[in-house]
Amino acid sequence: MRPSCAQKVSQMLGPRPSSSTAPSIWYAAVLVPKRKPAGSCGKSRGTGEDCVGEGTGTIVPVTVEIRRGSERFSTREDGRLTRHSFSFGAHYDPENTGFGPLVCHDDHRLRAGVGFGEHPHADVEIVSWVLEGALEHCSEGRAEVVRPGTVQVQSAGTGIVHREVAAAGAGPTRLVQAWLAPDETGGSPAYDVAPVTLPDGELVPVASGHRDDAAVRLGVAGATFWVARLPAGASLTLPDEPLQHVFVGRGALMRSSLAQPLADGDAFRITEEPGHRLTAAVPTELLVWTFAR
């Protein structure tokens, strides 16, 4: 299905009914009439009328989902607001537990000194990207302050304990943290942090499971984390991988064949439709995950 068709059908269907515990999303498939080779579906038996609307046909997947930031699960505590892209903790939706190897994609807003005290992890790849402010990270005798323009990658392996809070004196901090299921469990823990050069208008690989990428290494083959900073009016073409999670970290995208405008905190989930072109309505920072499968 072409992007424009998916958009029109999804608008016609409307959002899936939501509840207090699950965000609304578009239907994953639609029923379309069976057609003859010439393109006509023929006439209804006994009436001579076109058969559009009959309950026979084939299922055609909608390959682009839009997830609005305002519809995400939210966790609020004193000095912290987290919006979860997927089921997390007490928030559970069996139809929204991950995307490819991505099992967590949290948007954290923290007051200075607030965050997450010492806690353990095992067998997960953790990637953090700070959008504003600064994140103070402590683990295994290591202390780092991660600022915008720097990627932090931690492989939990057999087990780690770390602490992460908004750095004092940095003002309010906002970061996006992703967790991915690694290719192999039980590996040795590892940590890396690296500055990233982001030329305007370019999609830059920041962390990757591809060995030939100039990016911090991930223990997930075929996965790449990209970041782009787009001036207002600038456009870019998304990569060719079959699974893509495109998150608007800040700013907004113009209306396109995919959707109405996307704003801060909104996301696309794209399956088997590579190479879409996106345009920034205002200065925008995009966080993109791509997966070979």
Q: Specify which residues 171 forms β-bridges with.
A: none
In words, the CATH class of domain 3-27+62-291 is mainly beta
Question: Average pLDDT of 88-112?
Answer: 96
**Is residue 247 within 8 Å of residue 105, measured between CB atoms?**
yes
Backbone angles phi and psi of 216, in degrees to 5: -60, 140
pLDDT at 215: 78
All residues at 6 or more sequence positions from 268 whose CB lies less than 8 Å from its CB, including other chains: 64, 65, 66, 67, 244, 245, 246, 258, 259, 262
pLDDT band, very low/low/confident/very high, at 39 (cuts 50, 70, 90): very low
Say yes or no to pLDDT of 232 above 50: yes
Question: Average pLDDT of 196-219?
Answer: 88
pLDDT at 213: 65
Q: Specify which residues 82 forms β-bridges with.
A: 75, 108
How far is residue 28's CA from residue 16's CA, in Å, rounded to a whole number? 10
Say yes or no to pLDDT of 1 above 60: no
Question: Average pLDDT of 104-111?
Answer: 97
First to last CA, the chain: 19
- The CA–CA distances, whole Å, from 126 to 32, 151, 186 equal 41, 11, 15
pLDDT at 53: 44
pLDDT at 214: 65
